[in-house]
Amino acid sequence: MHHSLEKIKKIDLHTHIIPESWPDWNKEFGRGRWLTIRHDADGAKLINADGTLFRAVEKNCYCPAKRLEECDTTDVLSTVPGIGFNYGAPSQDALRVAQFLNDHIGQVIKSEPKRFVGLGTIPLQDSDLAIIELKRCVTELGMAGVQIGSHVDGRSLDDSSLEKFWTTVEELDCAVFVHPWDMSDAERVQKYWFPCHGFHARPDLCQTVTTTDPNLVHDPEILELLVKKFGEDRIILGSDYPFPLGEIDRPGQLIETTQLAKEPGDTERIRQKLLWKNAVTFLKLPDF
């Protein structure tokens, strides 16, 4: 169902979208590292350069109209990290891909400006190119900012090579959404890995002795702790739609049903902040 902006009152900060198709960058760049897309009856499959499956996606990952059917939120669109974070690629190749993805997001948000907000992707391994594309995203494509990875091919986000980028972000006064991806320094922490155990070894026990999913993390007590620890002004709804990691059927349900303060009026005030007001401030959406 299509909702007007005034009725939505939810902003989902963490959603992903990809184009329905894209060039064969392996042929264009002469290097075999890029994902391709193959459509089938169930949606599409993203294929690694070696022919193995990266992940399967449904139509709601690349079809804006399908998203409008399924969602009652205003979606903040960013690309899938495996497609958009190409920090290990040659800078000019990564820029070409970023421009293509950003042009696509720009077209989507222009088609439904009251339902979609855009976050671009940038070739952060090259600060000069990243700054150029950041400025284009914000000043030409109408985006609220960019999505970046939690590290840049192993470099931390406080690396001195990124100082010019952060200075430009400050000058533009735009949003930066940090998306975790591809754990950095994996070799350094190898000694901390351990085999999976417990219910994964005995799923039959899980079915008989538990009343809730032991992997469930959408916990009212955790939400209450977050509000108490970080403050009601620092938390924003994000579902990871269309991927099944969040509240797919009804993003924001946990916020809507958790008693976040002793007084009902205070709970409602906090809910409004988490569901949309904090996002308005972060993304600078004066017309919401």
What pLDDT is stored for residue 106 in this prediction?
98
Q: How many angstroms separate the Cα of 7 from the Cα of each of 208, 249, 252?
A: 43, 18, 15
> How would residue 1 be classed by pLDDT, with cut points 50, 70 and 90?
very low
What pLDDT is stored for residue 5 in this prediction?
39
Q: Would you say residue 8 has pLDDT above 60? A: no
Mean pLDDT of all residues in 129-136: 99
What pLDDT is stored for residue 162 in this prediction?
98
What pLDDT is stored for residue 209 in this prediction?
66
Q: Would you say residue 195 has pLDDT above 90? A: no
**Mean model confidence pLDDT for the chain:** 89
Mean pLDDT of all residues in 196-215: 67
Tokens of 72: 């009652």
Mean pLDDT of all residues in 36-62: 94
What pLDDT is stored for residue 197 in this prediction?
66
> How would residue 104 be classed by pLDDT, with cut points 50, 70 and 90?
very high
> How would residue 2 be classed by pLDDT, with cut points 50, 70 and 90?
very low
What pLDDT is stored for residue 250 in this prediction?
84
CA separation for the pair 29, 53 (Å, rounded): 21
> How would residue 198 be classed by pLDDT, with cut points 50, 70 and 90?
low
- Under 8 Å between Cβ of 108 and 120: no
What pLDDT is stored for residue 204 in this prediction?
73
- Under 8 Å between Cβ of 23 and 101: no
CA separation for the pair 121, 280 (Å, rounded): 21
User: Per mean pLDDT, which range of 35-49, 210-224, 245-259 is the poorest?
Assistant: 210-224
What pLDDT is stored for residue 3 in this prediction?
36
Bridge partners for 42 per DSSP:
none
User: Per mean pLDDT, which range of 56-65, 177-186, 204-213 is the poorest?
Assistant: 204-213
Q: How many CB atoms lie within 10 A of CB 171?
A: 10
- Under 8 Å between Cβ of 62 and 17: yes
Quote the percentage of the chain above a pLDDT of 90: 70
User: Per mean pLDDT, which range of 5-9, 197-201, 245-249 is the poorest?
Assistant: 5-9
User: Per mean pLDDT, which range of 84-93, 113-122, 192-201, 205-214 is the poorest?
Assistant: 205-214
What CATH code is assigned to 11-17+60-188+217-283?
3.20.20.140
What pLDDT is stored for residue 72 in this prediction?
78
Mean pLDDT of all residues in 88-92: 96
Q: Would you say residue 218 has pLDDT above 70? A: yes
